[in-house]
Amino acid sequence: MTEFLRLGVNIDHVATVRNARGVGYPDPVRAALVAAEAGADGITAHLREDRRHITDDDIARLVAELTIPLNLEMAATEEMLAIALRHRPHAACIVPEKREERTTEGGLDAAGMHNHLAPMVSALQDAGIRVSLFVEPAARQIDAALRLGAPVIELHTGAYAEMTGDARTAELQRLIDAAALAAKNGIEVHAGHGLTVDNVAPIAAIPQLRELNIGHSLIADAIFLGLGDAVRAMRAAMDVAR
Ligand code: PXP
């Protein structure tokens, strides 16, 4: 049976618009509450090392005000680990982070970073935080997630979103195979990055997926539709594919 596919709404780019002017609006916490009201199953926020969008105060307020789960995206650094342990979000997704990148480019090298990640994964799990690793759809990364004892992986759909034609079909197949392999090994599978109402259907149709995390296109659609309707349109596009 295909299980329900949760929609996690990433609100980073509400903060991007706010920070472009250094003012207090639009408030990403207000956006999170509107998204929840419109049917989001969770909220995702990435506290980047350079604080270019979400701030420490946003995280504190999200933890205080949300009634749906918060998924904190974080780099594998001691600073972010301490923040996660202080706020104890429902989930933490460990992502690669380079200061110069525009957005998260490529997945975490969970295989190559085993020794660095192992104590972080343990510390987060010991604090009751559900850990996921943001990885490319590749068997070696899934093996690495298993060895690390991560209960969840999030598959990077950025390449799928950027590709067209046969290349996209091949990348979709990699995502399908990776989801099946991970689920067979008892790992919960999420996906995200670059998803839009127009490209989400083949991803939402992957039966093992339990959650999609979607931000940029939703906030972009919200300019024209309002955030509530943008969330509802994404929910409908996911449900049709399921
Ligand atoms: N999932 C992860 C792990 C991410 O880093 C991001 C981008 O912050 C997303 C999902 C959402 O990607 P997008 O903003 O392209 O929808």
- Give yes or no for residue 99 having a pLDDT over 60: no
Judge whether 236 lies within some domain.
Answer: yes
Which of 6, 9, 10, 97 for mutating ligand 1's site (highest number of atoms within 8 Å of CB)? 10
Judge whether 235 lies within some domain.
Answer: yes
Q: How far apart are the CA of 214 and the centre of ligand 1, in A?
A: 6
Quote the pLDDT of residue 98. 73
- Position in ligand 1 atom list of the atom nearest CA 195: 16
pLDDT tens, residue by residue, 160-181:
999 999 999 999 999 999 999 9
Judge whether 229 lies within some domain.
Answer: yes
Proportion of the chain above pLDDT 90, given as a percent: 95
Judge whether 105 lies within some domain.
Answer: yes
Which domain, by its residues, includes 227? 6-241
Q: How far apart are the CA of 24 and the centre of ligand 1, in A?
A: 23
Average the pLDDT over 206-233 and give the result. Answer: 98
The number of domains in the chain is: 1
Tokens 């998204």 — which residue?
A: 35
pTM above 0.95, yes or no: yes
Judge whether 66 lies within some domain.
Answer: yes
| CATH number of the domain enclosing 92 | 3.20.20.70
Judge whether 50 lies within some domain.
Answer: yes
Proportion of the chain above pLDDT 70, given as a percent: 97
- Give yes or no for residue 102 having a pLDDT over 90: no
Ligand 1 contact via 136 beta carbon (within 6 Å):
no
Judge whether 1 lies within some domain.
Answer: no
Judge whether 224 lies within some domain.
Answer: yes
